Structure 1
Amino acid sequence: MIELQHLTKRYGGTLAVDDLSFKVEPGHVTGFLGPNGAGKSTTMRLILGLDAPTSGQALVNGRRYTSIAKPMHEVGALLDAGAVHGGRSAYNHLLSLARTNDIGPTRVAEVLDQVGLAGVARKRVGGFSLGMKQRLGIASALLGDPAVLMFDEPVNGLDPDGVRWIRDLMRSLAAEGRTILLSSHLMSEMALTAERIIIVGRGKLIAEATVTELTAHYPSLEDAYMALTAGSVQYGASR
């Protein structure tokens, strides 16, 4: 489980995350939505200990991420698929990560096969398409077989088959009892993948509900999202 308790983050005079509290429960895909600049990426970085909160805390299974000795066994994340050394092969990239958490090479081969990259495991990542890098990032998240998984825009660069594969993967991982936090701007895909939705705007919690609850009074999840975030868009297009 992921739990945020009055999480706040300031960068100078900018309040990026504002007293944010919510829970992401196991056994569900929870969608994480909000306009650009809403604080989603900052929140995910705070959960993973990549930034320190100004106040409040983010807990993973009751502990701060930075207190977990071998975090890949408990938490897996894909935040930036491009953050990979282009000169390394997919296999060596994963193997280097695995060694930091006492994960053996057998598991590296397993996750490469799981994400459909077994056939290019020895090829350099620099020659990969964006979709292939996304799959490699997902393999990295799965490496430690963690109970908590976080994905930021995992379908970027994927073709329709890849998007459907992601959808099925997220659902199957949740069905195993894992905690899944999924950030995306694709409302139609989120409506098909997530069961619960958390919406933030300007760093604040706007809504926390099931997809069914959010769409009870709107034609679609997209319509519900647009209505709820209307006052939180910071850079609206001029007409």
Structure 2
Amino acid sequence: METIEVRHLSKAYGHHKAVDDLSFTVHPGRVTGFLGPNGAGKSTTMRMILGLTRPDSGDALVGGRRYDQLAQPLHEVGALLDAGAVHPRRSAYHHLLALAQTNGIGKRRVHEVLAMVGLEGVADRRAGGFSLGMSQRLGIATAMLGDPAVVMLDEPVNGLDPEGIRWVRGLLRHLAGEGRTVFLSSHLMSEMQMTADHLIVVGRGQLLADVAIAEMTASGSLEDAYFALTAESVDYPTTATPDRSAVA
């Protein structure tokens, strides 16, 4: 199975360094969580891995190759970065069919992934009328269309109800159990603690931790460990004490 390798990756926008000499490896057979405060460089890093953003320096490799060097990218990497990136007038079925036909994938697989994510009953509905949770499911179906060895998902449970969140958790664990490389970004600490085996934590574009989740949570909750680790990477607001002297 294939790994994701980030080697000395950097990207700046003007004077702001979104990603700063970042290096880590995502291994197959486990769910690797990607954590960091807003603006820490997570989305930029994932976009560089997928060839959507060009790095200023360094490399982002899948199976030892850049994304633009992959012979059949949809078969090797499945990704969900933006659930809304679907033509609103196209049905769920025809959205997947168009991708399948341009990537040498048969119609049978389209039906399989629709069933996998629970959208077979609304396959003929226009994607523009989908709820956020349904759009997330369609995005996951799109990521799984090529039966890829590497799966990258950015906030996949956003908009899902508790049943949907539990389903995504089970899917990710199943994919990792099959030996695939699963890379997951999420702000939900409790969900990450229940899903991930390993964590990559970044702050201000730099690596803060590359650690097994069991080690990260050995002395308490993931949330407490995360805030302690990232405290210097962001200004967290404190809970203000009301000024009772101002009350008449």
With the shorter chain as reference, the TM-score category is over 0.9
User: What is the match of residue 195 of structure 1?
Assistant: 197
3-state secondary structure, aligned to 1:226? helix
Superposed, which structure 2 residues align to 1:42-81 within 5 Å? 42-81=44-83
Q: What 5-or-longer segments of structure 1 have no aligned partner?
A: none
Look up the match of 2:7. Answer: 5
Structure 1 stretches (4+) deviating beyond 2 angstroms?
236-239
Question: How far apart are the structure 2 equivalents of 1:86 and 1:56?
Answer: 36
Distance in 2 (CA, whole Å) between partners of 1:155 and 1:64 is: 28
Verify: 1:83 aligned to 2:51, yes or no.
Answer: no
Q: Which structure has the larger Rg?
A: 2
C-alpha deviation, 1:127, in angstroms: 1.1
CA RMSD of aligned residues (A): 0.9
Give the CA deviation at 1:237: 3.4
Q: Is residue 114 of structure 1 aligned with residue 116 of structure 2?
A: yes
TM-score normalised by the chain length of structure 2: 0.94
Give, in whole Å, the separation in 1 of the partners of 2:7 and 2:147: 26
State the percentage of identical aligned residues. 69
CA distance in 1, matches of 2:25, 2:72: 23
Residue 40 of structure 1 is matched in structure 2 by 42
Shift of 1:71: 0.3
2:175 matched residue in structure 1: 173
CA offset at residue 198 of structure 1? 0.6
Structure 1 letter corresponding to 2:82: D
Q: Which residue of 1 aligns with 2:244?
A: none
One of 204, 214, 217 as aligned partner of 1:215: 217
Query: What letter is aligned with 1:221?
Result: L
Equivalent pairs, count: 237
The answer for unaligned runs of 5 or more in structure 2 is 241-248
Residue equivalent to 1:232: 233
CA distance in 2 between counterparts of 1:96 and 1:68 reads 20
Whole-Å separation in 2 of the counterparts to 1:100 and 1:205: 37
Per-residue Cα deviation, 1:198-217 (whole angstroms, up to 9, x for no partner): 10000000001011111123
TM-score (norm 1): 0.97
